[in-house]
Amino acid sequence: MAIFLIRHGETLGNATRTVQHPDIGLSPRGLEQAERLAKRLEREGITAILASDYARAAQTAAQLGRVTGVAVRHEPLLRERNFGDIRGTSYADLGFDMFAPDYAPPNGETWEVFHARVDRAWEVVRAAVGPDAGHLAVVTHGLVCRSLAARHLLLPEGAVVPERWENTAVTVVDVPAPWRVRRLNCIAHLDGLAAPPAETGAV
């Protein structure tokens, strides 16, 4: 059994490097990425799908649910870090590093609060992978993937936690513990897709 940990598809906020609001959906390119992801995982034996309820993750998960026939369960604990009042601002206009360890966004989450929430999300994920269950897909966000990889998953020998998680990247985690990663931040399903117009690092 395995957990397929997935980042959502591209949004216009990713392409323009803008701190995103929850209701930002997938761009046309992001929809194509989600379709390719779904085709890749269609016959992997996924029997459950957990997803962030933010639009970009929900849309990505919906494509996977469509091809597998599996209902998507939305889990708010899988949301991206809340950047509060700076959401809607372009990275270029911030004038500081929003990912700095000591930065606390106004009306948002500190790193400490965010990691604690991801810990609770991981408890939900683990509860969904019983001994008789099939594979589980978890559709979430880049910083959630990074937090899980850094603090809960056993990476392949010599691998480091990626700073950037690609849109619709798949990380395959073997079940049960020690939650060993078999494939990390993989986007083989996007081979041949035209390059994005800009770096896609916005959360």
pLDDT in tens, the chain (203 residues): 999 999 999 999 999 999 999 999 999 999 999 999 999 999 999 999 999 999 999 999 999 999 999 999 999 999 999 999 999 999 999 999 999 999 999 999 999 999 999 999 999 999 999 777 789 999 999 999 999 999 999 999 999 999 999 999 999 999 999 999 999 999 999 999 877 655 456 67
Give me the residue label for tokens 């761009």. Answer: 27
Q: What CATH number is given for 2-190 in this structure?
A: 3.40.50.1240
Query: Number of C-alpha atoms within 13 angstroms, CB side, residue 11?
Result: 26
Cα 1 from Cα 130, distance rounded (Å): 10
Which sequence spans correspond to the domains of the chain?
2-190
